[in-house]
Chains A and B, each alone.
Chain A
Amino acid sequence: MSEPLLSVRKLTKSYKIIKRTLEVLRGVDIEIVRGEFLALRGASGAGKSTLLHLIGGLDSPNSGEIIFEGKNIAQFSETDLTHFRNRRVGFIFQSYHLLPELNALENVCLPVRIARLPAPDAEKRGSELLEQVGLKDRMEHKPYELSGGEQQRVAIARAMIAEPELILADEPTGNLDSHTGAEIIELLKSLCVKRHTTLAIATHDAKVATCAQRVVELVDGRIAGG
């Protein structure tokens, strides 16, 4: 078996809501192997999104380790985390989160422009990706001029442009009809295979999970059977 890209050990996360503590993750252990397509399945509130946020460095755990290529990102400084989010992982969200002021190409190029890649290089990469996701003719379109499926394709291209090792997709088909959702998953899967990118999808949709190489079930903040 290939070496793990990411190892999560005894990860816990809780939120304080007024006087009550809500334990979302209660000691999660999981390994993601380089190049695999993993589906995190679970009911709403099971902790799928929280786990993805922690893995992606968007939030910090209460305890536990997230070892990415030998380094514990839970102990990264703010600067290291920013760099990690920009270069090593790509995020895809349920509600796309495209910036309405920017057109499709500008949205796709945003991560590399943040990383100060010169505009012509960014444009070349962005155009190629938009072509690969089937939006060659929609580059100048603003998000409100695109359908939900098209917006998610732009979001996929944006997640891929910095050539990260890991793509984290949080319910990427949640806002789409089943046909478009299937197309998006197929596109995501093929792009990741083509670019040797590891893909972790959080979903409660059994159909989406069946496309994955491996399915991990989260129940009440723990890996089922773990």
Chain B
Amino acid sequence: MSKLPFELLLALRYLRPRRSFVSIITVISIIGVALGVAVLIIVISVMSGFGHDLREKILGFNAPIVIGQNDKPMDNYEDVMRLVSSNRNVTGVAPFLLGPVLVETQPTNGGNALFTTPFIRGVDINTEGSVSALPRSVLPGGSFDLSGQSIVVGSIFAEQNGLDIGDHVSIYSPSELKKMAEDVQHGRTNVEAILPDDYTVTGIFDVGYYDYDADFIAASIENVQDLYNLEDSVHGLSVQIRDPLQAGEVKHQLEDTLGPNYEITTWEEQNRQLLGAITVEKCLMYYIMFFIVVVASFGITCTQITFVVMKTREIGLMKAIGASNYQVMLVFVLQSVVVSVFGVASGLGLGLFALYVRNDFLHFMNRLTGFELFPASIYGFSELPAIVSPTDLIIICGGSFVICLLAAILPARHASKMNTVEALRYE
């Protein structure tokens, strides 16, 4: 004879009807909970992965802290670099220039030239590697070579403009375009035409984030200074720090060091809207998705109500032979505990498996439907990101379990409060 307490023994037996291994009602209840938990795990993990990858991509291309001089280019940047480098939290400093340019392709196959307006980033080849992943993001076949009239371009930019290693492009600087426009406006016809600078593509980078790969090109700091007529000035300094999450604190330290003439911004401030939206979205998803579990738990409530009605006479008997209200309630609560544990565990397994095969499934669906379900042009990522956080798993599994348990309380309480004689006479 089983040594289990009678409440647990009965709860387990109730889940196994006479003629089959497990009751169909039990299976349906477990599936309901499992699907709710699995969907919750998948959605929250993808959202976490999306947020994490986005931060990685942002920090891969941009430094956590950027220093500029109020309303003007920075001409004493080497002195400022020395001051900034003296901070113990700073691991790298690099000058940069950033602004829009007009690029004209030079097709070799006789096709029409394409015009685009990407951002050009002027970087110091010696120090850029200490503040961003750009030098390491150049695809095989090219190099991070910015000597002479060389540029590296984003992979999507290269694809959209039909560019490859060794191709040439013309770059019009904004200051020269402005000068030409002023000459035309003032009717000056006796001026020399300014020709764009020709550049050779020496590398194609892929930082994995659509906006950067589609809209950015990089050149040497000297070339971009020429394009912007800045002589030896730069737009600012990129600062790499030990822990990007401490950017706010380091910013205050640098403000104290540099004084009020410098504008210091962190990566979180620059991307405040995007990062804020992701956090809010994840919280909202938590709320919305938990309602799926709540709906699944209604399944447990309905099942248990039906079951309690079916077992009315047995409840009467249990009470007649001395089971307390608490013991009767425990029988039905334990039954729901078993359903909830199996449901949550199955959901956990299903959710983790679905996350494991998410990209294979995505590619399969893309092939099957001929439609890109997760377009990189919208989401910025070519693969579906996901991070399985133990904290999220504990919240999801624990929360779902508690919801299912609460759903079972009402029918179990109803069972315990039954009038013994009426229950025994129930037909």
Contacts and interface: CB of A to CB of B under 8 A. Distances in A.
Contacts of A111: 321-322
Contact of A110 (B16, B18, B316, B321): B321
Interface residues of B, number: 28
Given A97-B313, A123-B1, A113 B18 contact: no
Contacts of A93: 317, 424
Nearest to B321: A111
A58 B10 contact: no
Interface in A88-118: 90-91, 93, 97, 99-102, 105-106, 109-111, 113-116, 118
B305 interface: no
Interface stretch (B72-80, B323-331, B382-390): B323-331
Nearest to A122: B1
B302 interface: no
A139 to B, nearest CB: 9
A79 B327 CA distance: 12
B321 A158 contact: yes
Contacts of B323: 82, 86, 114
Contacts of A100: 18
Contacts of A144: 18
A126 B321 CA distance: 15
A78 interface: yes
A83 B322 contact: yes
Nearest to B17: A101
Contacts of B262: none
A155 to B, nearest CB: 10
B244 to A, nearest CB: 59
Interface residues of A, number: 38
Interface in B9-33: 9-10, 13-14, 16, 18
B6 A110 contact: yes
A154 B2 CA distance: 18
A142 B13 CA distance: 12
Contact of B420 (A59, A110, A119, A120): A59
A142 B320 contact: no
Nearest to A82: B324
Main secondary structure of the interface of A (DSSP, over half): helix
A115 B424 CA distance: 21
A115 B322 CA distance: 8
B421 interface: yes
B104 interface: no
B3 interface: yes
A153 interface: no
A53 B421 contact: yes
Contact of A101 (B1, B14, B319, B321): B14
A85 B325 contact: no
Most-contacted residue by chain A among B314, B316, B317, B419 (CB, 10 A) = B317
Nearest to A142: B18
A61 interface: no
A87 interface: yes
Contacts of A99: 10, 314, 317
A114 to B, nearest CB: 5
B322 A119 contact: no
A56 interface: yes
A81 to B, nearest CB: 9
Contacts of B3: 118-120
A58 B318 CA distance: 11
B304 to A, nearest CB: 16
Given A101-B14, A106-B1, A114 B322 contact: yes
29 contacts: A59-B421, A78-B324, A82-B323, A85-B319, A85-B321, A85-B322, A90-B321, A91-B320, A91-B321, A97-B320, A99-B317, A100-B18, A101-B10, A101-B18, A102-B10, A102-B13, A105-B1, A106-B2, A110-B6, A110-B318, A110-B321, A113-B5, A113-B9, A114-B6, A114-B323, A119-B1, A122-B1, A123-B1, A158-B321
Interface of B: 1-3, 5-6, 9-10, 13-14, 16, 18, 313-314, 316-325, 327, 419-421, 424
Interface of A: 53, 56, 58-59, 78-79, 82-83, 85-87, 90-91, 93, 97, 99-102, 105-106, 109-111, 113-116, 118-120, 122-123, 126, 142, 144, 158, 162
Given A90-B321, A114-B322, A144-B18, 20 more contacts: A53-B421, A56-B320, A58-B420, A58-B421, A58-B424, A59-B420, A82-B319, A82-B322, A82-B323, A83-B322, A86-B322, A93-B424, A100-B18, A101-B16, A101-B18, A110-B6, A113-B6, A115-B322, A158-B321, A162-B322
